[in-house]
Amino acid sequence: MIKKGIVLAGGIGTRMSPLTKSVNKQLLPVYDKPLLFYPLSILMLAGIKDILIIVNKGQLQQFKKLLPNGKNLGIKITFAEQKYPKGLPDAFIIGEKFIGNDSVALILGDNFFYGQNLTKKLQECRRLKNGAKIFLHPVNNPSQYGVVKINDRNKIIKILEKPKKFISNFAITGLYFFDNKVVKLSKALKPSKRKEIEIVDLLKKYNKKNKLSAEFIGRGGAWLDTGSIKDFYEASSFVSALENRQGLKIACLEEIALGNKWVNKKHILSAIKFYGKCEYSNYLWKLIK
């Protein structure tokens, strides 16, 4: 059972400059909430309560102002700083002490996930004991992503980073589940031409030992990588349309915590006081009426 989760919220956010010159991308709004709420909500929906958020050096206080320690959500949040981007597997090296002897989930801080059966799938993935599991989703432009080719039994037979020739339209999303061997394997990775250690190389190590499996978000589900201004505002439009139509909020952290019975009415009232008079607080009031 996976008890630990990491949100990798570092990175420079160059593609979104000048917006990201003074503010971390994960703190910018996707419709009515900071982007960070969305990946954090995915770990909470999986049932993970012990979470490490990795941020850029010098930006720690910005995050702590938004999420002091997680007590108001019935979870434990700790922070670590990354001096400069060294590749996604660096999250496991930075988080070695945090991970300890446990298995761990990793989600990228700029990834957005949505789906009807997603919570059930996340909780199933959390039961991982050995190996690794990745989430796949079809895309129109596979040459821009890490891509997986699978056979008719959903066995992964090839993994390529930004393939020039079409091999598959199944992109590797920014959500991963690993056993405890991930720390040792990450440390053994050699930097690529980009001078970073690559998540694709880590996945290949697991796949070589037949320890890598795939999960699918499924039809009707959504995965958005908010790496550019266009993608960022597409995510905002998506959330806006769904929330205004359904009257329900996506990635309301307090609602997830309340549903999991990690918090009670007192915690929600405290959250309302923390956020002040706003639409988000109005929604929280409805939860406890």
The reported pLDDT for the residue numbered 68 is 81
Neighbours of 209 (CB within 10 A): 12
In the predicted structure, residue 21 carries a pLDDT above the cut 80:
no
The reported pLDDT for the residue numbered 177 is 98
The reported pLDDT for the residue numbered 13 is 67
And the tokens for 214?
Answer: 């795939």
User: What is residue 160's three-state secondary structure?
Assistant: strand
pTM of the predicted model, to two decimals?
0.95
- What is the mean pLDDT of the segment spanning 257-273? 96
Answer whether 237's CB lies under 8 Å from 114's CB. Answer: no
- What is the mean pLDDT of the segment spanning 37-52? 98
The reported pLDDT for the residue numbered 241 is 95
pLDDT band with cut points at 50, 70 and 90 for residue 52: very high
Answer whether 82's CB lies under 8 Å from 58's CB. Answer: no
What is the chain's Cα-based Rg? 18
**200 phi, psi to nearest 5 deg:** -65, -40
Q: How many Å apart are CA 243 and CA 225, to the nearest integer? A: 20
Distances in whole angstroms, Cα of residue 84 to Cα of each of 56, 158, 216: 7, 30, 32
Distances in whole angstroms, Cα of residue 282 to Cα of each of 74, 76, 105, 157: 21, 25, 32, 49
Lowest mean pLDDT segment, chosen from 74-78, 81-85, 164-168, 225-229 = 225-229
The reported pLDDT for the residue numbered 216 is 92
β-strands 170-178, 104-108: how paired?
Answer: antiparallel
Q: How many Å apart are CA 145 and CA 170, to the nearest integer? A: 9
CA-angle at 36, arms to 177 and 49, nearest 5°: 50
DSSP class of residue 220? Answer: T
And the tokens for 99?
Answer: 């991970």
Q: How many Å apart are CA 189 and CA 196, to the nearest integer? A: 9
CATH class of 4-132+174-191+212-251: alpha beta
pLDDT digits (tens, 9 = 90+) for 178-223: 999 999 999 999 999 889 999 999 999 999 999 999 999 988 889 9
- What is the mean pLDDT of the segment spanning 224-237? 87
User: What is residue 156's three-state secondary structure?
Assistant: strand
Average pLDDT, the chain: 93
DSSP assignment of 54-100:
EEETT-HHHHHHH-SSSGGGTSEEEEEEESS---TTHHHHHTHHHHT
In the predicted structure, residue 20 carries a pLDDT above the cut 70:
no
pLDDT digits (tens, 9 = 90+) for 119-135: 999 999 999 999 999 99
The reported pLDDT for the residue numbered 201 is 97
And the tokens for 57?
Answer: 């050096």
pLDDT digits (tens, 9 = 90+) for 92-103: 999 999 999 999
The reported pLDDT for the residue numbered 245 is 94
Percent of the chain with pLDDT over 70: 99
Domain residues of the chain, as ranges? 4-132+174-191+212-251
